[in-house]
Amino acid sequence: MIQQREVPLIKERLNRRPKSLLIRGGRVIDPSQQVDAVGDLFIADGKVRWLSTQGTFSAPENCPVVYARGMVVCPGFIDIHCHLRQPGFEEKETIATGTCAAARGGFTTVCCMPNTDPPVDTRATVEYILSVAANEGAVRVLPVGCVTKGRAGSELADFGELATSGVIAFSDDGNPIADSLLMRRALEYSRDSGLPVIDHCEDTSLSKGGMMNEGAVANRLGLKGIPAAAEESMVARDIELARATGGRLHIAHVSTAGSVALIRRAKEEGIQVTAEVTPHHLTMTEERVMSHSGYDTNAKVNPPLRTARDVQALISGLKEGVIDAIATDHAPHTDADKRCNFENAAFGISGFETALGSLLALVHRGEIDLMMLISKLTFEPAKVIRKNDIGTLKVGAPAAVIIFDPDAEWVVDPSAFASKGKNTPLAGETLKGKVMATIYGGEVIYKDDAIKLETARR
């Protein structure tokens, strides 16, 4: 068993020409090319230069070589929904710490939500995030812009300015877009621009004061519940607005069986809707809130953890293609945010560094296959945000690659997280499956010390 420990992030920075690297003998899985075979991958000048499952590659002299026998080599993961907190909430996370955590979890592209201070509703804030990411980030950061000014829900943000400044989608995540006319206008713009509107679907008149899933567990703990209808009613509304406008709708963090059914019907009717699900909604139920002390604030998340029936519906939705992507909704918080009574605790789980290990449990149990899991973390989220050059190992693509051992067991120790957010309900648990190396820009930016770099010699 591999004990989780502090492993240094290896970062070759600005103005250094990327080295070549050969990854030899791993199980190469690339859903974008339907590749699943043992092979070699050669990287040079920051690009994928050679991929073969037919023969071995003769590496240049002194080229670093990673022998990946027994491990999986695949495109770097793409997280289309996370919270990096900067600007404004640097006590919870920064772009530097968040992207280091992402690299340790195998994510080479992260899309950060705009619930910062100030919110991402102007060109200046977008440019600030991109500048900090370029200078301090470990992986690619793609900002999501606000739907409404200040995320206040009363006036649309300047979509044109945000689009030209580099956002890849629009969202008021954390706040649902309650005004149906504003949502309609946003979807009309998404139709014309091609950038999706990502909605946090929640009818707050139904969820107000709720802290976990409405049901028997909430009753037992004496906590006010959040009904499934709070999500499903807004999903239904958004789908109808997408139908009326032809806009591009993306449903964030789907959590209920009813939402899956609504999205399935919408897709069958040809409505432009995509959806994501989180690792915690795929692998945990409302029971996780209960602990020996009564409840676990680290399992408080919005939308809440639901029932076993909902979990099975979400897994079925993945397998059927109803749900397009897995996104972490990485939501780091300070200890003070979580070390309090359940009512006052913040919603959210710090998810970058445990995502793969928790998700591989589904593969080990035979509930989904490994190709599908990797597809939902790479190729398919890239399609949602229309980035054709990422999430792939095609020759010529940017070299964003991870190596993971699907059978390595490790114990979750939040104190060793690269993220400032230590808030996970998985603390002390043993996960099976671990990222061993992350390559971004052709450079090894994270490496477990079980992985050795050797040198090719003539």
Give the active site residues: 329
Beta-strand ranges (E) seen in 285-374 are 325-326
Calculate Rg over the CA atoms of the chain.
21
Asked if the peptide bond before residue 176 counts as cis, ω within 30 degrees of 0, the response is: no
Residue 320: strand, helix, or coil:
helix
Measured between alpha carbons, how far is 253 from 379 in angstroms, rounded to an integer?
18
Task: Output b/e per residue, 282-298; b: 16+ Cβ within 10 A.
Answer: bbbbbebbeeeeebbbb
Instruction: Judge contact between 153 and 177, C-beta under 8 A.
Output: yes
Give the helix ranges, DSSP H, for 369-418. 370-377, 379-384
Measured between alpha carbons, how far is 82 from 174 in angstroms, rounded to an integer?
11
- Cα 211–215–220 angle (5° rounding)? 80
Residue 50 burial (C-beta neighbours within 10 Å; 0-12, 13-18, 19+): middle
If we measure between CA atoms, which residue out of 53, 15, 11, 13 comes closest to residue 23? 53
Q: What is the dihedral of CA 356, 40, 103, 116, to 10 degrees?
A: -90
Measured between alpha carbons, how far is 430 from 337 in angstroms, rounded to an integer?
25
